[in-house]
Amino acid sequence: MRFDPANILVIDFGQLGDVVMSLPALRAIRQRFPDARITVAVGKPAHEVVALSGYANSIYEVDRVALRDGNKLVSIGRVIKLVQKVRRAKFDFVIDLHSLSETNLLGFLSGARHRLYSRRPGRSLDYLANFSPRPPAEAQSQHAVDRYLDVIRPLGVQNAPRLPVLKTSSAGDLAVDELLKKEKAQSGELLVGMFPGAGHVGRRWPLERYAELADHLIRNERVRVLVFAGPEERALVSEMRTLFPPATLFFDRLTIPQLVSMQSRLTLMVSNDTGPAHLAAAVGVPVIVLMDRPTPHAFTLIGDHHRLMYGELIHKIGVEAVYHAAQAVLARSRTDQLIKS
């Protein structure tokens, strides 16, 4: 049976890292329906990720936190406006990749004739979907990329590439050029990025160890260290400035496109297990991820060029081990540069 929807809504309400992991599925949807108009409804932090991907014709940015935690009457009004907006668009097909009860309900109220939802036992209302065949039920043991790809398996999508990929924007590149010029970063200088933040203090490698690692890399490897911080880490920047070597550059006001452009210039990224690590990996940068667990999980980075460093507790990961891993990546990069030259 031929199935060619013209106006598709993809609901993708995950966190920043979740949406990066969903990029292979978004790419596969775009390739499966090259002539369709695709709108992606996404949470506020990940709006720019979808925009950079180029897979969407339009984007609905939804502040899920405000809907959930704001004034109840205001939240109800916003929900009604969102439903009205979706209904006015007259979608003929809805794909809910993340599949929560509220997103399933939004898809149902959209008026779309066809609805394909992720099946998440205990979390979704997938009985509101009507696409046949149904996707397999989500398995917790699966990698997140494969969970999202499984949702669209009923569309005949098989063996889709699993690697999330992002491109930089021209505006982001220009802004980064100016920032690096202002900081007198030398052309050809190896740049190492660090992201010491995380959503929870228990997932943060101690700042003192990041600073010690930066000192080793600057003195022994002749690199420039760039420290990134988001809104949640901004209060830590003054402390980090006292801990890190004077040559360290700090960036705590970058937009997502600017962060992605800056990361694309890096030779290496060292990060806690959080969203910016996924962004760096998606632009092709080797990442050393410091993890507060002894084994991989569903959101670990894909690719042999990344190093995942595990610990029962994150503070048990030593500086020396991370430094040796960074040395190996930098040595490989220098060798590659010699070969190219």
Q: What is the pLDDT of residues 226-282, one digit of tens each?
A: 999 998 898 899 999 999 999 999 999 999 999 999 999 999 999 999 999 999 999
Structure tokens at 320: 């020396």
User: Taking 70 as the threshold, does the pLDDT of residue 163 lie above it?
Assistant: yes
Output Rg (C-alpha) for the chain, integer angstroms: 21
∠ CA 247-260-22 to the nearest 5 degrees?
140
In this prediction, residue 1 has a pLDDT band, given cuts at 50, 70 and 90, of low
Check residue 10 and give its pLDDT: 98
Q: What percent of the chain has pLDDT over 90?
A: 74
In this prediction, residue 215 has a pLDDT band, given cuts at 50, 70 and 90, of very high
CATH number of the domain located at residue range(s) 170-340 in this protein: 3.40.50.2000
Check residue 70 and give its pLDDT: 64
Residue 95 belongs to what H/E stretch? strand 93-96
Structure tokens at 34: 């090259």
Q: Which residues on adjacent β-strands are paired with residue 225?
A: 192
> Taking the alpha carbons of 216, 221, 222, 225 in that order, is the dihedral positive or negative?
negative
pLDDT digits (tens, 9 = 90+) for 186-211: 777 899 999 999 878 889 999 999 99
Q: What is the DSSP code (8-state) at residue 134?
A: P
Span 303-325, average pLDDT:
93
Check residue 64 and give its pLDDT: 72
pLDDT digits (tens, 9 = 90+) for 99-130: 888 889 999 999 999 999 999 988 888 899 99
Q: Which CATH number fits domain 7-155: 3.30.70.2740, 1.10.1030.10, 3.40.50.2000, 3.30.43.10?
A: 3.40.50.2000
In this prediction, residue 20 has a pLDDT band, given cuts at 50, 70 and 90, of very high
**Could you tell me the pTM of the whole model?**
0.93
User: Taking 90 as the threshold, does the pLDDT of residue 40 lie above it?
Assistant: yes
Q: What is the DSSP code (8-state) at residue 201?
A: G
Please, where in the chain does CATH 3.40.50.2000 lie?
7-155, 170-340
Would you tell me the crossing angle of helices 275-282 and 16-32 to the nearest 10 degrees? 40
Task: Using the structure block, give the residue that is written with the tokens 């009457």.
Answer: 73
Check residue 75 and give its pLDDT: 67
Q: Which residues on adjacent β-strands are paired with residue 310?
A: 291
Check residue 334 and give its pLDDT: 79
Give the separation between CA 71 and CA 76, rounded to whole angstroms: 9
Check residue 73 and give its pLDDT: 73
User: Taking 70 as the threshold, does the pLDDT of residue 66 lie above it?
Assistant: no
The answer to whether 86 touches 110, Cβ cutoff 8 Å, is: yes
